[in-house]
Structure 1
């Protein structure tokens, strides 16, 4: 490791000789300057790793010198040292993006700590994070062998997300590859768990909260005491929620976060209709045949969400002033943001925002999006960038100003698919890459969760011989015809409809305005 180079600027530099000797013994190279002007000359001619800058010097002041340093090299870390505890000095220094702020008299260990924070932070964090994950790896592996309830799976998945977000901040690809393999194994075990237990969840009051029970069990209780904005961001994974949480946290404080389970198929037509209707797909078909659309039916599959919601509110005995907005374009988002104040008297305002789902589909169809969202890390980053500049954030800001409670959730997640699974079906077979429904389906048993009696998992069928299959892990269905082209086109795209932690375990969050 190269010797770090320090420029120390102080008009009384001779008094700091003990500090400089201390740092030199710690393998730091220290250059000194006695004025701001001398410091700027040194910086123009020599490459330094960090600057210690006295605020109170004759000639140009420390703050003036700081401004000049930032113009010469904006990325050079500067630690401001001052005798004064005046708040305005701190504000100006921090506003100028200093690395640290120290009050005289400083001792050598303070200086050393500041150096480590500024120069060795990433290395120390990387080493500590890697060591911590190595310890946690064994515990996660043991937990994975023992986990046997839907609560434990939600907890394990959140733990994996935590380490994914931690490891993406450090430069240790080896650790990240280990985590990826652990996620793959987790999904394998999770698919077995769902295969064994999913049918019982519809019969058992001890099952998880799912799409069709979400409104009654989690949303309805939040509507009692305050006017509420309900935001459903289509296709938002748990890690994407955590990516945007900090931005929302500027305006709202979180009071509840609870993972819940999407029904199968983990697709908008099924899961989101189930949220708004409070019914399973089979119940929707039976009770509202004019609103429910099967996979092979013509027309849009989510055209009656407002009607489903109205029927559910009536069934639950909720007499509310409410309205519903589906945002599927920038223009519609801007219109709602501009007019949001007109909804201030509503008890419930529902906003369905489709951008993240559109983003995942665009990755399949557009090469530039494939490049921008080439990994889960990049996909999270793209989601965050969109959210920071979206009309949805403007809507949330206005909701805060109006004192509205914010309830945020999604209908299902998505997974980056990598492995093809061959399937054969007739021309009536549905087109989704992560689930299929139809007659006489031929498939690889070990690669799918099969429902040969769909009604037992509350799914409608077109005829008595129809069945459903759901892709496991990161599989996607491919037909034998033109197989290689099909696989090449869809590999490494984001799809949903199947069985995975990413698709099924999704966030429900309640927030109060700050």
Structure 2
């Protein structure tokens, strides 16, 4: 019995007529138990654990539906295929509501029964085998692409493929390829960082470049306002591409989704990239036009984005949309989100709603502060699961469903992603240096140039210069900065936590989804 493909209980008052079917299934490797009525089936289910029950509906005494409900009380997750002579829709509805796995109409032939059993009992195994062979082929294709010299769009496509494999492997954790995929992502990251940094300065001074945060309103939002569409600009701070793609099945029933990308600015941090979304400027130009923002950034104030509403209005005025009605809302807490949801019909009178949501960013930061969150979000898969669970239960999902049902356009994006940091990098700096783990600014900053970008002339990178002899350090790959004193303490605290500010695919390649509500 070691090679048994599954234990099946077949319940039918005419079971003696089904001998050819039973023999066929047994020849295929299944172990069959038989019952001619519901009561015998209940008795067998109490003393045996069955992988699958084939259940006839039309039986004297206890019929199929009653038997089904009693089987479910014995084992809530019992897999059941209902077989019946009738095609009555009410019966199908009742059976489906009782969570049957499949519905077959008599007469059924042995091959039909076999295929239904195989599909249900071996689906995961077959899909795992297919995923394994497909990934091994994809592995070779990705390695080949790396040697060809990719452009920005091709890098997005490659990273998108890697993300799809990450999400697929969330379902098939036992196939043993997760570590191979992780290593491949690390290899791709090294190539991507070289590509990004070798082109970044040229892009900053060219109109022929990938989309940056400061281009989003002009290139993506303006055309929708021009067409008099109702638009929501939704910025989910710190959301990675893999996290957005894990949310797509929740959003697809309500929206047509056109998934694109933008590249975060350097440093890949909120005060640079998110402010750039709203003001439409590079950071150096932003601080010249808004000196108060420069002071906040220099002092590392608690709120580094308190002028976004002003930035947005000024940006739209420059673009010629002064007469458009706007409502901006930044939401940090659940209560504030629910208040927003309760007033959505009022806010929906505006031409443009701009919403900033901080949950994903807060979750990243809190994992380094709370041990229980480290257990809930130990890796990328856990982070994706947490973000999806949050959206499913959140006020934001109800708001998005409202937009979808009412035909709104939603531009859903982020300012940057995050990466799980692994390797500490010793840094030397003056006392007044900033406190970031993935980027720093200050005087006399220095570290290993192989693992970090050292910027001595911020203006070349369109970054603000703070103080005398300003410089920036930006971590590459999965490194994070620590000072030599107390290095061990901070290594223990921050290793394997999610951080941002550096340069990696996960931080730089940002999802940009143009979503059109289906209107129902």
Give the TM-score range, shorter chain. Answer: over 0.9
- Match for residue 253 of structure 1 among 247, 251, 256: 256
Single out whichever of 174-183 and 400-409 deviates more from structure 2: 400-409
1:371 lines up with 2:351 in the alignment: no
Q: Which residue of structure 1 aligns with residue 133 of structure 2?
A: 131
CA RMSD of aligned residues (A): 1.4
> Runs in 1 of length 4+ with deviation above 4 angstroms?
none
Alpha-carbon shift at residue 314 of structure 1 (Å)? 0.4
Q: Which residue of 2 aligns with 1:149?
A: 151
Cross-structure match for 1:411 = 415
Q: Which residue of 2 aligns with 1:362?
A: 366
Q: Which moved more, 1:469-478 or 1:2-11?
A: 2-11
Aligned mates of 1:229, 1:211 — CA distance in 2:
16
Query: 1:14-71 deviations in whole A, cap 9, x for unaligned?
Result: 2211111111111111111111121111111222111000111111211111111111
Give the secondary-structure state (helix, strand or coil) at the position aligned to 1:424. coil
In structure 2, the residue matched to 1:279 is 281
2:314 maps to 311
Alignment partner of 1:226 out of 202, 205, 229:
229
SS in 1 for 2:103: strand
Distance 2:388 2:451 in 1: 33
Alignment of 1:423-502 (within 5 A): 423-463=427-467, 465-502=469-506
> What secondary structure, in the 3-state scheme, does the structure 2 residue paired with 1:57 have?
coil
Any conservation in 1 of the 2:300–2:434 contact (CA below 8 Å)?
no
Aligned to 2:450, the other structure's residue is in SS state helix
Moved more, 382-391 or 165-174: 165-174
What is residue 31 of structure 1 aligned with on the other side?
33
Question: Using the alignment, how far apart are the partners of 2:295 and 2:72 within structure 1?
Answer: 61
Which residue of structure 2 aligns with residue 291 of structure 1? 293
Correspondence for 1:100: 102
How far did 1:250 drift?
3.0
CA contact (8 A) 1:130 1:172 kept: no
Q: Tell me if the contact between 1:435 and 1:498 (Cα under 8 Å) persists in the aligned partners.
A: yes
> Could you tell me how far 1:486 is from its partner in structure 2?
1.0
Distance 1:76 1:298 in 2: 57
Count of residue pairs the alignment pairs up = 513
| Counterpart contact for 1:81–1:102, Cα < 8 Å | yes
Using the size of structure 2 for normalisation, the TM-score is 0.96
Structure 2 CA distance for aligned equivalents of residues 301 and 171 of structure 1:
40
- From 166, 171, 174, the equivalent of 2:173 is 171
8 Å Cα contact 1:296/1:428 also seen in 2: no
Per the alignment, residue 57 of structure 1 pairs with: 59
Unaligned runs of 5+ residues in structure 2 are none
Q: Contact (CA 8 Å) 1:147, 1:153: kept in 2 or not?
A: no
Superposition TM-score, scaled by structure 1 size: 0.97
CA distance in 2 between partners of 1:374 and 1:227 (Å): 39
CA distance in 1, matches of 2:232, 2:172: 37
Q: Deviations over 1:427-465 (max 9, x none)?
A: 121111111112211200100122222111210111452
Contact 1:273–1:302 under 8 Å retained in 2:
yes
1:84-119 per-residue CA deviation (whole Å, 9 max, x = no partner) reads: 112222222122111111111112221111111221
Shift of 1:127: 1.2
Q: C-alpha distance in 1, partners of 2:300/2:183?
A: 41
Name the CA distance, whole Å, in 2 between partners of 1:166 and 1:105. Answer: 37
The whole-number CA distance in structure 1 between the counterparts of 2:45 and 2:512 is 52
Contact persistence 2:446–2:454 (CA under 8 A): no
Say which is worse superposed, 135-144 or 111-120, in terms of deviation: 111-120
Distance 1:438-1:298 versus aligned 2 partners, 3 A rule: closer
Q: Aligned pair in 2 of structure 1 residues 166, 401: CA closer, same or farther (>3 Å)?
A: closer
Name 2:16's counterpart in structure 1. Answer: 14
1:43 to 42, 45, 48: 45
